[in-house]
Amino acid sequence: MLSIISGDDVKKLDAAFIKATGISSWDLMENAAKAFFAWYQSKFMGVMGKVFVFSGPGNNGGDGIAIARLLAESGKTVSVIFFQEKEFCSKDYTLNIEKLPSKVNLIHISDFNFEIDENDVVLDCIFGIGINRPLEGSYLEVIERLNKTQCHKVSIDIPSGIPSDEILQGKAFKADHTVTFQFPKLSLLFPEHSEFTGNIHVVDIGIPDFFIQNFHKDKFFLRREDIRKFHKKFNPFSHKGDFGRIMLIGGSVGKVGAMVLSSKAALRTGSGLVHVQIAESERFIMQTAVPEVMVAGAEEIKRLDVFDALGIGPGWGTEVDLSFYCSILKRYHKPLVIDADGLNLLSKKPENLKYVPKGSILTPHIREFQRLAGEVKDHKERLDKARSFALEHGVYLVLKGAFTSISTPNGEQYFNSSGNQYLATAGSGDVLTGMIASFLGQGYLPLNAAICGVFQHGLAGEMTALDKRRGVIASDIIDTIPATFVDLDIE
């Protein structure tokens, strides 16, 4: 798991790492350049065009010049386009200029004619996390011109113009790929910046995560290799009771499909027993669609505590008797999952939030969260609000979207890295509810249930999109859940 630290802390981290290990700041830049070069070789070596490296005056520009050297040594035709004479540039920029082989064309921006071909590659090393004001003058002109140029575009560390932790003011470089060092900068995860970042790739520059943790505050980036450790182990002696008994509550008239999806997803995620509480008239549809599910009667609703987890909300409608909802929340004493109409009903009567059992998992998408917590001006404020909401109510708040975030009752935030745009399809949220409720019912801690559910839901989306792309529907995601266990090597 990678810790996400602020741009200001990166500078302190660099200084502390250099002091502790005795390596030089130039070595660290060289590590960054080599890490980028390895990425480039794996992704871009087939691209035969020329490489244009646009280098700003700071260390981001210095990275670019070191990268230009490595690319030229590998046989590429490389030009460096610079903005400032070296005496106005950072120390490691200057050192790298001195090491640049003569075969690299070194061109001042005022002499550059912008003859860039479709097959050429532009590396954006104008500004990194040291940007401290909106772009202007020649920087702005060049970036606007590059944004209109057809070619391959890659940003180093962060698209130039975007600050590391804040929302962009003004313009920025539009990349097809952003190759970021060590961990994704927080602002790369904001939806407002998706048109600039392109695909995000994190490359390791050799600062161990335990070292970074000295600086970390409360934000983490979840990657595929992290997921195994959040899973419980089962063995051949495990029986269906060990896999949990859950109850899903929702499915009003005409909306029982949501419960079909949630309950199937829970079964595919490994639940031993799945009960559903739905509108009486929808019983036949439910049992035909998912024969493995048991439809709950009045008796089960009375004895809620026999269930290892509840999932409330899919297809429930907003006409539900609020006193019935409230009685469920008051009588159930373990963490549960609330989604969709379960959340909308809480927005209608926020005082009921106090009855939500501590450690429960709430899974709003952006609009549902807005109904619950109020308007925000941008994603940064939304994330801050999600954090304070989770702290205040003692819940795990799963804010769904690209890089779904999980805010915890102790103020931490975990960002998911799996998934794609094809998950934005009807019923996808119902699938996630079923998955998280299933893990919770299998005895996972709420954080682990949320992490495994969110990651594998995203992974199932990625895997099913391989041959379906925008044709992915929620049922395909469910069908792919078992393959995610295989893919991650989880028994």
- Which residues contact ligand NPW (rule: CB under 6 A)? 10, 14, 28-29, 32, 56-63, 90, 127-133, 135, 139, 156-157, 181-182, 205
Binding mask 136-155 for K ion (x = CB under 5 A): -------------------x
Q: Is residue 464 close enough to count as binding K ion by CB under 5 A? A: no
* Cα Dmax for the chain: 83
Cβ proximity to ligand NPW, 167 vs 205, nearer residue: 205
Cβ proximity to ligand NPW, 198 vs 359, nearer residue: 198
Cβ proximity to ligand NPW, 56 vs 315, nearer residue: 56
Beta-bridge mates of residue 406:
398, 414
Min. distance of Cβ 131 from ligand NPW in angstroms? 4
CA distance 362 to 389: 11
8 Å CB contact between 158 and 179: no
Min. distance of Cβ 13 from ligand NPW in angstroms? 6
**What is the 3 state secondary structure string of 64-76?**
HHHHHHHHHHCCC
H or E segment and range at residue 331:
helix 322-331
Helices within 223-305 (DSSP H only): 256-269, 283-289, 298-302
Min. distance of Cβ 34 from K ion in angstroms? 17
Structure letter (DSSP) for residue 265: H
Binding partner at 251 among ligand NPW, K ion, none, C-beta below 5 to 8 Å by kind: none
Residues 148-207 touching K ion, rule: CB under 5 A, are 155-156, 160
Beta-bridge mates of residue 247:
275, 310
8 Å CB contact between 219 and 3: yes
Min. distance of Cβ 32 from ligand NPW in angstroms? 4
Cβ proximity to K ion, 174 vs 457, nearer residue: 174
Residues 114-133 touching K ion, rule: CB under 5 A, are 124
Min. distance of Cβ 436 from K ion in angstroms? 37
Q: In angstroms, what CA-CA distances link 235 with 118, 238, 242, 439, 453?
A: 55, 5, 10, 16, 21
Task: Give pairs for 84-90: CB < 8 Å, separation 24+.
Answer: 84/56, 84/57, 88/57, 89/57, 89/58, 89/61, 89/62, 90/57, 90/58, 90/59, 90/61, 90/62
Cβ proximity to ligand NPW, 206 vs 394, nearer residue: 206
The secondary structure of the chain in percent helix, strand, coil, rounded to multiples of 5, reads 50, 15, 35
Instruction: Give the annotated binding-site residues.
Output: 59-63, 124, 128-134, 139, 157, 160, 258, 315, 365, 400-404, 429-430
Binding partner at 408 among ligand NPW, K ion, none, C-beta below 5 to 8 Å by kind: none
Instruction: Give the annotated binding-site residues for (6S)-NADPHX.
Output: 59-63, 128-134, 139, 157, 258, 315, 365, 430
Min. distance of Cβ 181 from ligand NPW in angstroms? 4
| Residue whose C-beta lies closest to K ion | 160
Cβ proximity to ligand NPW, 56 vs 441, nearer residue: 56
Q: In angstroms, what CA-CA distances link 368 with 21, 351, 400, 401?
A: 48, 17, 10, 12
Cβ proximity to K ion, 92 vs 412, nearer residue: 92
Residues that bind K ion (CB under 5 A): 124, 155-156, 160
